[in-house]
A and B are shown apart, each in its own frame.
Chain A
Amino acid sequence: EVQLVESGGGLVQPGRSLKLSCAASGFTFSNYYMAWVRQAPKKGLEWVATISTSGSRTYYPDSVKGRFTISRDNAKSSLYLQMNSLKSEDTATYYCARPGGTTNYFDYWGQGVMVTVSS
């Protein structure tokens, strides 16, 4: 059974940093691209980052480019999101998600972790 379990969320002040983790199990982690998707309270979904199988390629929307860094450790079946220079608009539930096969729809999602950016 595929499982994605996020951790590392919490309350952080604007301008500070936070690192999220996602522990994957139930599939061969190193064979899949991985991604983060977020959802602000009572809002829609926003794709945040994608990383290739080896970690050599990363992709971000303009809203987080230069502030967020996605990374992975295939030996530990773990995905990470380093978030720097956090803003109030980064407040959201962050989901770890697995793209299906060779495409970029998301066939498995974690339960999500809440990040609140506030002074």
Chain B
Amino acid sequence: DIRMTQSPASLSASLGETVNIECLASEDIYSDLAWYQQKPGKSPQLLIYNANSLQNGVPSRFSGSGSGTQYSLKINSLQSEDVATYFCQQYNNYPFTFGSGTKLEIK
């Protein structure tokens, strides 16, 4: 199984700041990487797919990058509504696996 190591586990940042969340795959996943946002008590929502493609309706302050085994999610100009837990997911191989999540809070 492909292991997805996500960091940091939690993050506190100020409004307007830029934050980065990392995801490291245990093997090459050829950019088959998605990022999700899950707000408290809600279902996950797709933000980014294919490592760097922005899902329709997602604000442009979200962006994804990376290749091979290393990927990152960047949030520019942090807003209060960005408080959530963020997960990465690889879909290059079965079984699909998720990172353990990054809980983002406002400082």
A contact residues vs B (CB 8 Å cutoff): 44-47, 50, 59-62, 95, 100, 103-107, 109-112
**With A44-B100, A100-B49, A103-B32 known to touch, is A109 a contact of B95 (CB < 8 Å)?**
no
Residues B49 and A103 in contact, CB atoms below 8 Å apart: yes
Closest to A46 in B: B98
Chain B residues whose C-beta falls within 8 Å of the C-beta of A61 in the assembled complex = 1, 94-95
Verify if B54 is at the interface (C-beta below 8 Å from A). Answer: no
**Which chain B positions have C-beta within 8 A of A100?**
46, 49
Chain B at the A interface: SS class: loop
Q: Could you give, for residues 17-51 of chain B, a 1 whenever the CB lies within 8 Å of some chain A CB and a 0 otherwise?
A: 00000000000000010101000000111100110
Which residues of B have CB within 8 Å of A62? Answer: 95
Interface of A is mostly: loop
Q: Measuring CB to CB, which residues of chain B are less than 8 angstroms from any residue of chain A?
A: 1, 32, 34, 36, 43-46, 49-50, 55, 87, 89, 91, 94-101
Residues of chain B lying within 8 A (CB to CB) of residue A104: 32, 91, 96
**Looking across the interface, which residue of chain A has its beta carbon closest to that of B55?**
A107
Q: Is the CB of B98 within 8 A of A106?
A: no
Asked if residues A106 and B34 are in contact (CB atoms below 8 Å), the reply is yes
Bound together, the chains give a CA A111 to CA B94 distance in angstroms of: 24
Q: Nearest Cβ distance between residue A95 and chain B, in whole angstroms?
A: 6
Report B-chain residues with C-beta under 8 Å of the C-beta of A112.
43
- Which residues from A are CB-within-8-Å of B50? 103, 105
| 13 chain-A/chain-B pairs, Cβ below 8 angstroms | A44-B98, A45-B98, A47-B96, A50-B96, A62-B95, A95-B43, A95-B44, A104-B96, A105-B32, A105-B34, A105-B89, A106-B34, A111-B43
